[in-house]
Amino acid sequence: MLLMDVDGVLTDGTLWNVPAPDGTIFETKGFDSQDGIALQWLSKYDIIKGVISGRVSPATTERARQTKMTFVYQGHTEKIPLLEECFEKSGISSTDTCYVGDDLTDIVCFKRVGFAVATANAREEVKAAAHYVTEARGGQGAIREVCELILKSQGKWPEILKHYEAL
């Protein structure tokens, strides 16, 4: 199972406040297309995915739908109960779970999973608590990098390359 934070992980952390025609403001964010296809590859192999985010955003809801995420938790900075709910509902152990984060609220998750990953743009304390730090920054291929690591560790990467005639 792959669980992750959103802002600073699936995005670069930038939040855009865009005016609507009626004068209200809505928030949106940008996602990396290469992260998106890599998340789709995980679906091909029935690898469960999810997000646990402190912010609530319709853009996150849509991205989770597009990438077929099983778990979508928004508006929660206390992540432990949600992490434990993911273990319980999925039947996947904590040791078979990867969590990707970038900020202090993610460290508690790191201590409860088998593979803790910090993005290149993560706070130094988060990097120190991680098993692995990505070369890519959040929103700029960090999740793609993690998905490739997962697929390679499971021996599935050659099949992806063969499918795209890259082998």
pLDDT 10s per residue in the chain (167 long)? 999 999 999 999 999 999 989 999 988 999 999 999 999 999 999 999 999 999 999 999 999 999 999 999 999 889 999 999 999 999 999 999 999 999 999 999 999 999 999 999 999 999 999 999 999 999 999 999 999 999 999 999 999 999 999 98
Query: Which ranges constitute the DSSP H helices of 16-163?
Result: 33-44, 58-66, 80-90, 107-110, 124-129, 142-153, 157-163
Alpha carbons 86 and 66: distance in angstroms, whole number:
20
User: Domains of the chain: which residue ranges?
Assistant: 2-163
Give the rounded percent of residues in the chain with a pLDDT score beyond 70: 100
Number of Cβ within a 10 Å radius of residue 83: 21
Domain 2-163 CATH class label:
alpha beta
The CA radius of gyration of the chain, in Å to the nearest whole number, is: 16
